[in-house]
Amino acid sequence: MNHVPAFGVGTFRLQGQVVVDSVRNALEVGYRAIDTAQIYGNEAEVGQAIKEAAIPREQLFITTKIWVDNLSSSKLIPSLQDSLRKLGTEQVDLTLIHWPAFQNVALEEAMTALAEAKAQGLTRLIGVSNFNIDLTQQAIAAVGKSEIATNQIELSPYLQSPKLVSFLQSQNIDVTSYMTLAYGKVLGEPVIAQIAQNHQATPAQVALAWALQRGFAVIPSSTKRENLASNLLAQKLQLTDSEMALMAALERNGREVNPEGLAPLWD
């Protein structure tokens, strides 16, 4: 399977026992894809939750991301090996470059090191995160289009990034949406509330269903077991064409994550 699972659980900003409980609850209610990152500082706790859940490793899809300090050819693989130790696994399913902030490292060097990590069996798939069109094209030039499983980017009904999404889909690179609920801001959107009412669904389910129908993978997080279970039901929700058109009209370039020194010039 060279594709990213459509539905996973995110762990951004979750620490300590909170992330252990969140991941364990997610696995118990049916999630099988888990997204973490070196900079989150929770890989060991994610690994603990996975171990405690005792689900066969082959049923899980584990993603981590290489932090910007570890992008050189001398640091990337050792840093990934450290992540594997923390996660308690010999191989992750997907490893991403977290932000295209290459500092004193060339993009080609980082992508080549990432491809070497895959060749060594440390990761089954590789990809990128927060890359714009130009940087994605450079990544393709470095390792080949077929090597890049996904570009994980911020997407929500308020930030639809049509140019970047169209480019990625034209290249058969999976689009993974993070911040799909825009830090919860879309949950108070009247248009979404009305669509939710139409389907006896929650606003969160509507936003996630919108992303799924656009062909995006989603990785929402929650510390509440009932929300984790509720979010999963978005997979069964089918929005009508007119509802999808209403969702499309919510675009407002509402970017929530744009860290100076890390983020590229967005398309």
Consult the annotation and say whether 199 binds a ligand.
no
Query: Does CATH number 3.40.50.300 belong to domain 9-180+216-223?
Result: no
* Residue 103: pLDDT band with limits 50, 70, 90: confident
- CA distances, 84 to each of 23, 60, 88 (Å): 17, 14, 6
For the segment 17-68, what is each residue's pLDDT rounded down to a tens digit?
999 999 999 999 999 999 999 999 999 999 999 999 999 999 999 999 999 9
For the segment 61-96, what is each residue's pLDDT rounded down to a tens digit?
999 999 999 999 999 999 999 999 999 999 999 999
pLDDT at 206: 98
Model pTM greater than 0.85? yes
Cα-based angle 177, 181, 185 (whole degrees, multiple of 5): 145
Mean of the pLDDT values across residues 109-137?
98
pLDDT at 56: 97
Long-range contacts, 220-226 (Cβ 8 Å, 24+): 220/9, 220/10, 220/180, 220/181, 221/9, 221/10, 221/11, 221/12, 221/13, 221/14, 221/22, 222/9, 222/22, 223/14, 223/18, 223/21, 223/22, 225/25, 225/28, 225/29
For the segment 167-200, what is each residue's pLDDT rounded down to a tens digit?
999 999 999 999 999 999 999 999 999 999 999 9
* Residue 216: pLDDT band with limits 50, 70, 90: very high
Active site includes 40?
yes
Query: Among residues 31, 40, 158, 178, which one is catalytic?
Result: 40
pLDDT at 1 over 60: no
Average pLDDT along the chain: 97
- CA distances, 9 to each of 45, 57, 78, 248, 262 (Å): 14, 16, 26, 25, 24
pLDDT at 248: 98
Query: How large a percentage of the chain has pLDDT more than 90?
Result: 99
Domain ranges of the chain: 9-180+216-223
Mean of the pLDDT values across residues 214-243?
98
